[in-house]
């Protein structure tokens, strides 16, 4: 069996190796991913995002438990922000999901977050494709909500759950960063803590205020309460995700196409960004013109701003000419 | 007076406005920055990087105190990782530097970290240019060491100090992420804590192991101890930074040119990355070819990997043809 066949057959070791290669940005993985792509589109992708400490991993662990009871196979992609200092700090979180580690229908992988345009989003999408081709029914993408890169990640999910805890003042911050537009469900975890009701009211008010932006598809994001650590509210959360899925399924064809096109556009833009930075810059920097620009800057003969303008306008001109 | 003249005259309000515009990525700022660039090159840039909680802000505060005693004017750029959730959490750090807020020769600005290729690095470099043109003698760039984007930031500093604390296991993590190659000085802050000597030994061993990579310019990064909160070791740290400056100054012309060219290359590459993502993608996504690719993906007629390959190879082909 070749790699594609092995992955479709659910071979965990082959999948793990391919995921490592995606992380390492092996250019050869693209050929495999191209072939895998025709075998994708069956999994339902749930995004989970929220600040460190809101209990995402515990929540995901409980979600796995419920989904397994429904006999659904589950893939989990935990996106870690890579830090040269505290890179290992999040390993503890993974440990919390260990009770599922012997279940062959649960596949959990951490993905290091590289801080470059579209890179994270593009590689997460590729890993989603791998898990999808493996036949996972539900794929959960867990990401700590730090920065635009990570917000982009959850844009490719079918349903995104934004997790907050009472009294974090998250509501306002979330609103500012466009989290509101990204979440289809808001969950107040650790809802036994003081301030839960206040947080609930705030979130609901904010959603109501922004309804004109959100209701293009007629879905008003509900705000739920949970205590994931006591397994409270988790079944309701999954039911609400299922409601959202049905809601989208029931949209008119035109509306559904617009929905799909938006997802495709986000995914394509992330991929182009990633490749622009990786491939185009690499090839560009090998050109004589580029090296001459660096010389001129180092010698003080040219300022970097003008050098950058000159180089890019040349590229843009020829790209746009070609179009006409 | 125009904007450039005002900034050269040290006008704080004009500088603050320009920095805000750099953050907001106003394309018009480039014209101003081009003109400012001829007035730069006098400031000495010190990078400070380290995990949250190692005491960077306290250290910077003490460094300002010592530099002011030497009658040097100081600019500080604190690069914050933007989080939609905890965006405001770092404000407390800025407060620690408040004792210098009435000193007109100290200029402190926070810069939000956008997670996109080169974006952070490019905008930090532009803000360095502004502070440089204002006539600051020393510019301190403080960044929490999370991700490649932030490592790139300190690459443009003349001297970079990597701050760790005892017993964090940072040493190994740091090594992995290439922090070792970026630091010219390592500082163990909070050195009264248990494990300081162990951390010192580990760092020294790691530096010795990698000396072949580091000693191109004959500088072996020293490892210092400090208790910034008690103002211990801060004067020594500044003296060591000065030693590094003299070391680079004393390099042969050829060696110094190579050093400058490396910095120019890093800066140029960050700027190109930033603009590739911002401008090129924007113009690209407006083309018919791009929109047709999105349609094909949304309809399932084409996989995104092939679509991306097709679009980029077209751009690359014409860019490279032009070269010959």
| Three-state SS at B26 | coil
Q: Which of B115, B274, B288, B307 to mutate to test the interface with A (most CBs of A within 10 A)?
A: B115
Residues 6 or more apart whose CB falls under 8 angstroms from that of B254 comprise none
Domain A41-251 homologous superfamily, CATH? P-loop containing nucleotide triphosphate hydrolases (3.40.50.300)
pLDDT score for A84 = 35
What does the mean pLDDT of chain A come to? 82
Q: Which of A304, A311, A317 to mutate to test the interface with B (most CBs of B within 10 A)?
A: A304
Higher-scoring residue by pLDDT: A172, B57: B57
In chain B, list all ranges with CATH 3.40.50.300. Answer: 41-251
Q: Name the closest residue on chain B to residue A182, using Cα atoms.
A: B84
Q: How far apart are CA B98 and CA B121, in angstroms?
A: 26
Say whether pLDDT at A276 is over 90.
no
pLDDT score for B89 = 35
- E strands present in A114-242: 138-144, 159-164, 185-188, 223-225
pLDDT score for A214 = 58
Q: Which of chain B's residues have a Cβ under 8 Å away from the Cβ of A322?
A: 314, 318
Q: How far apart are CA B178 and CA A282, in angstroms?
A: 20
- E strands present in chain B: 44-50, 74-81, 106-113, 138-144, 159-164, 185-188, 223-225
Q: Which DSSP helix (H) or strand (E) runs through B261?
A: helix B253-275
Higher-scoring residue by pLDDT: B255, A36: A36
Q: How far apart are CA B18 and CA B130, in angstroms?
A: 8
Least confident among A52-56, A63-67, A162-166:
A52-56
Higher-scoring residue by pLDDT: A34, A50: A34
Query: Residue A123 burial by CB count (10 A; 0-12/13-18/19+): exposed, middle or buried?
Result: buried
Q: Which of chain B's residues have a Cβ under 8 Å away from the Cβ of A145?
A: 83-85
pLDDT score for B129 = 93
Q: Name the closest residue on chain A to residue B297, using Cα atoms.
A: A264
CB contact under 8 A, A173 and B84: yes
pLDDT score for B272 = 85
Best CA proximity match to B266, nearest among B128, B62, B99: B128
Say whether pLDDT at B94 is over 60.
no
- E strands present in chain A: 44-50, 74-81, 106-113, 138-144, 159-164, 185-188, 223-225
Q: Which of chain A's residues have a Cβ under 8 Å away from the Cβ of B306?
A: 34
CA of A295 to nearest chain B CA: how many angstroms apart?
A: 7
- How large is the average pLDDT for residues A233-239? 97
DSSP bridge pairs for B75:
B107, B139
Which percentage of chain B shows pLDDT scores above 70? 81
| A107 within 8 A of A77, measured Cβ to Cβ | no
Query: Residue B48 burial by CB count (10 A; 0-12/13-18/19+): exposed, middle or buried?
Result: buried
CB contact under 8 A, A119 and B119: no
Best CA proximity match to B52, nearest among B159, B198, B178, B150: B150
pLDDT score for A96 = 55
- The shortest CB-CB distance from A306 to any of B34, B308, B314 is to B34
What does the mean pLDDT of chain B come to? 82
CB contact under 8 A, A295 and B320: no
Q: Name the closest residue on chain A to residue B178, using Cα atoms.
A: A84
CA of A37 to nearest chain B CA: how many angstroms apart?
A: 6
Joined together, the tokens standing for residue A259 give 């929905």
Residue whose tokens read 């000495």:
B44
Say whether pLDDT at A154 is over 90.
no
Q: Which of chain A's residues have a Cβ under 8 Å away from the Cβ of B87?
A: 173, 176-177
Residue A43 — pLDDT band, cuts 50, 70, 90? very high
- The shortest CB-CB distance from B148 to any of A116, A297, A298 is to A116
CB contact under 8 A, B318 and A320: no
| A232 within 8 A of A226, measured Cβ to Cβ | yes
> What number of helices (H) and strands (E) belong to chain A?
16, 7
Which percentage of chain A shows pLDDT scores above 70? 81
- The shortest CB-CB distance from A147 to any of B115, B279, B303 is to B115
- How large is the average pLDDT for residues A174-194? 81
Q: Is the ipTM of this complex over 0.90?
A: no
- How large is the average pLDDT for residues B119-125? 78
Residue A320 — pLDDT band, cuts 50, 70, 90? low
CB contact under 8 A, B283 and A148: no
pLDDT score for B8 = 95
Best CA proximity match to A150, nearest among A118, A173, A176, A174: A118
| B134 within 8 A of B15, measured Cβ to Cβ | yes
**CB neighbours of residue A282 within 10 Å:** 9
Q: What is the pLDDT of residues A88-144, one digit of tens each?
A: 334 444 555 667 777 888 988 877 655 454 566 788 889 999 999 999 999 999 887
């Amino acid at each position: 069996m070749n790699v594609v066949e092995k992955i479709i057959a659910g071979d965990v070791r082959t999948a793990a190796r391919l995921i490592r290669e995606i992380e390492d940005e092996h250019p050869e993985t693209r050929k495999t991913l191209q072939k895998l792509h025709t075998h994708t589109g069956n999994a339902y992708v749930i995004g989970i995002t929220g600040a460190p400490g809101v209990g995402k991993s515990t929540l995901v662990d409980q979600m796995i438990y419920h989904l397994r009871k429904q006999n659904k196979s589950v893939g989990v992609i935990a996106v870690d922000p890579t830090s040269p200092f505290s890179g290992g700090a999040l390993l503890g979180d993974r440990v919390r999901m260990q009770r599922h580690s012997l279940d062959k229908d649960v596949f959990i992988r951490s993905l290091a977050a590289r801080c470059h345009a579209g890179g994270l989003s593009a590689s997460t999408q590729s890993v989603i494709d791998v898990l999808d081709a493996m036949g996972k029914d539900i794929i959960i993408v867990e990401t700590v909500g730090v920065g635009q890169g990570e917000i982009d990640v959850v844009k490719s999910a079918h349903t995104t759950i934004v997790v907050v805890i009472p009294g974090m003042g998250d509501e306002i911050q979330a609103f500012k960063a466009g989290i509101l537009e990204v979440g289809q469900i808001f969950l107040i975890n650790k809802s036994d803590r003081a301030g839960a009701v206040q947080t609930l009211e705030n979130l609901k008010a904010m959603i109501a205020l922004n309804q004109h932006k959100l209701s293009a598809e007629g879905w008003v994001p509900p705000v739920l309460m949970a205590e994931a650590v006591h397994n409270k509210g988790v079944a309701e959360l999954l039911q609400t995700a299922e409601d959202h899925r049905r809601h989208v399924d029931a949209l008119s064809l035109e509306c559904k196409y617009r929905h799909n096109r938006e997802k495709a556009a986000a995914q394509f833009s992330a991929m182009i960004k990633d490749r622009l930075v990786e491939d185009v810059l690499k090839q560009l920097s090998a050109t004589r013109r580029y090296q001459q620009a660096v010389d001129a800057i180092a010698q003080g003969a040219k300022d970097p701003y003008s050098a950058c303008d000159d180089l890019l306008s040349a590229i843009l001109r020829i790209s746009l000419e070609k179009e006409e």
